[in-house]
Structure formats: structure tokens, C-alpha cells
Structure 1
Amino acid sequence: MRIELNEKVFGGRVILGPLALEVERGQRVALLGPSGIGKSTLLRIIAGLDRDFDGRLSGDDRLAVVFQEPVLLPWRKALDNITIPTGCDTATARDLMAQVGLSGHEGQFPRQMSLGQQRRLALARAFAVRPDILLMDEPFASLDAETAARMIGLTLELLERSGAGLIHVTHDTGEPARLAARPLRLGGSPAVLLG
């Protein structure tokens, strides 16, 4: 996956300036910077969710996104929240639920699960598509320190097992090291990659 961005305009203001970023399967980077700098916007462009930008996005990598909120189907049971959006088979979905510690929760609806469980379900769903690169937008925000640490460890295990690359948006300067990700900072106005 490679993005060569000239600019991204939002509300008549240039929020992202010239930048280039390339991530391959197995590589991990973390995008850091203050709130409102454009980290999530850049991730949405990379994910193909925002096509209104001046630049070029290339690569045929299979991508999966884990958002800050779990974005689950509230009217579907946990197992269906993996199989329906991804098209994976039930056995694969059950295996992924086991890997994230959700065995026995297959028949629960999202509202019956804690936020930590919902985020683990969203992580399992992301890996069900067998991504080349996993995109994560502050998925550990608003979790208590112990739950966040478990989620980071679980994410690292799944990344290492699958060989997927990672682009991780975070405010936490400690997360990149814990995910073995190269930190890249967005800064300036318009924001550019500072390294």
C-alpha cells in the first residue's frame, strides 16, 4: 500500500499537506500527533473511505479496519458479526473468537458484551478477512489500563501469527513500541509526516 498525498481539504481548509507513506505486509507503523491534526483522516483515505483528496493511493493489499468504536451489528449475534460482513465460514469465525478469548460468547448480542469484549470481537472480525495490512484508529482508547494492555498483547499475537502489516493511529506514545511499530509523527499546518 502506498499513498502519495498532495493535499486534503476539509471545510475549505487544507488539513493534510504533501506526504508519502508506504507500508507492506509485515511492516508496522504508528501515526502519532495531537487531536485534530488529521491522523484519522489519513487513515480513512488509506482505507478508501474518503476519496475526496488530491493524490494517489496504490496497491492491491487486502485491508481491514478496526475503528475506535467497535462498529458492530447490534441486531446480530457475535458469530454473525464476523461471518456476515467478512463472508468467512463459521469454523474460521469460531476459531478467531477463541483466539481473542470469546469462546462461549458466539450467541450473545453486542449489547450483552462489555466494551472490551466488543473490541475483541471487532478485532476478530478484522482478522477474518485475512488482511495484508490492518488499519487501527485508536482502538484502545477509553479502555482501562489493564484491558488496553491485554488488547495490545492480543493484537500483537494476531499480527505475528498472520504476518499482517499495521498502520495504527494513537495518542499514546507508548503503544508503538508495545506493538513493535515504527512511530511517525504528523505535525504542522497543514499536517505533514515529520518522521
Structure 2
Amino acid sequence: MRLDLEAKSFGPRQVLGTLTLSVTRGERLAILGPSGIGKSTLLRILAGLDRQYQGQLQGAERLAMVFQEAVLLPWRDAVANITLPTGCDATTARDWLSEVGLEGHETKFPRQLSVGQQRRLALARAFAAGPDILLMDEPFASLDAATAARMLALTDALLNRTGAGAVLVTHDPAEARTLGALALHLGGCPARFQKD
């Protein structure tokens, strides 16, 4: 996947300036910067969720995304929360639930799971999609330190096992280091990648 961005604006306000980003299967990048700088906007462009920008996005990689919130279907159980969005079968869904430590929770609804368990379900859903590149938008931000550390370790292990690449949006350089990701810092107005 390669993005050659010329500009991204919201109305008259230019948020992102000229920047280039490329990532392939097995590579890990972390986009860092202060709140409001445009990190999530950049990730939405990479995901194809925002097409109102100047520039070009190339690549036919299979993508999956983990959002800041779990974004689960409240009226469906854990297995259906994986099978419906990804198209995988129930056996594959159960295997991924087991991978993230949710064995025995297959028939539970999101409201019956803790916040940490909901995040693990969202991670299982993303990996069940078989992504070449996993896009993550501050998925550990609202978790306590111990739960966030466990989620980071789990994400690292699953990336290693599947060989998927990753783009992580975060404000925490320690998360980038834990995942072994190349850190890219957004700064300025409009925001661009800054040299360290």
C-alpha cells in the first residue's frame, strides 16, 4: 500500500499536507503526534473510508481495521460479531476467539463482556478477516495500563504469527516500540511527517 498525499482539507482548513507513506505485509508503522493533528484522518484515508483528498492511494492489499472503540454489533453474539463482518465460518470465528483468550464466551453478547474482552473480540474480528495490513486507531487508549500492555503483547504475537503488516495510530511512543514499529511523527499546520 502506498499513499502519495497532496492535501486533505475540511472545508477551508487544510489538515494534512504533502506526505508519502508506504507499508507492505510484515512491515509495521506507527503514526504519532498530538491530539487533533490528523492521525485518525490519515488512517481513514488509508482504510478507504475517506476519499475526499488530493493525492493517490495505491495497493490491492486486504485490510482490516481496529477502531478506538470496539464497534461491535450489540444484538449479535461473539461468534456472529466475527462471521457477519468478515464472511468467515463459525469454526474460524471460534478459533480466533480462542486465540485472543475468549474461549467459552462464544455465545455472549457485547454487553456481557468487559471493555477489555470487547477489545479482544474486535481484534479477533480484524484477524479473522485475513488482512495483509492491520490498521489500528488508538485501540488501547481507554484501557487501564495492565490491560493495554496485555493487548499490545497479544497484538504483537498475532502479527508475528500471521505475518500481517500494521499501521498504528497512537500518541504513545512506548506502544510503537512494543510493536517494533517504525515511528512517523506528524506535526505542523498542515500536518506533515517531521524528521526526528
Band of TM-score, shorter chain: over 0.9
- Where does residue 57 of structure 1 map in the other structure? 57
Runs of 4+ deviating beyond 4 Å: none
Shift of 1:194: 1.2
Matched, 1:112 2:112: yes
- For residues 92 and 194 of structure 1, the distance between their equivalents in structure 2, rounded to whole angstroms, comes to 41
Matches within 5 A, 1:35-184: 35-184=35-184
Shift of 1:130: 0.6
Shift of 1:142: 1.1
Shift of 1:11: 2.9
Shift of 1:78: 0.6
- For residues 120 and 3 of structure 2, the distance between their equivalents in structure 1, rounded to whole angstroms, comes to 29
| DSSP-derived class of the 1:174 partner | helix
> TM-score, normalised on structure 2?
0.99
- Where does residue 29 of structure 2 map in the other structure? 29
- Where structure 1 has 5 or more consecutive residues not aligned to the other structure, the ranges are none
- For residues 70 and 83 of structure 1, the distance between their equivalents in structure 2, rounded to whole angstroms, comes to 16
| DSSP-derived class of the 1:148 partner | helix
Aligned length: 195
Deviation string for 1:60-108 (max 9, x for gaps)? 0000000000000000001100001100011111010000000000000
Shift of 1:124: 0.2
- For residues 127 and 12 of structure 2, the distance between their equivalents in structure 1, rounded to whole angstroms, comes to 37
| DSSP-derived class of the 2:35 partner | coil
- Where structure 2 has 5 or more consecutive residues not aligned to the other structure, the ranges are none
Query: Which amino acid is 1:90 matched to?
Result: A
Matches within 5 A, 1:2-21: 2-21=2-21
- For residues 107 and 12 of structure 2, the distance between their equivalents in structure 1, rounded to whole angstroms, comes to 47
| DSSP-derived class of the 1:55 partner | strand
- For residues 85 and 26 of structure 1, the distance between their equivalents in structure 2, rounded to whole angstroms, comes to 24
- For residues 52 and 142 of structure 1, the distance between their equivalents in structure 2, rounded to whole angstroms, comes to 29
| DSSP-derived class of the 2:120 partner | helix
- For residues 142 and 11 of structure 1, the distance between their equivalents in structure 2, rounded to whole angstroms, comes to 30
Query: Which amino acid is 2:176 matched to?
Result: P
Identity of aligned residues (%): 66
- For residues 74 and 11 of structure 1, the distance between their equivalents in structure 2, rounded to whole angstroms, comes to 34
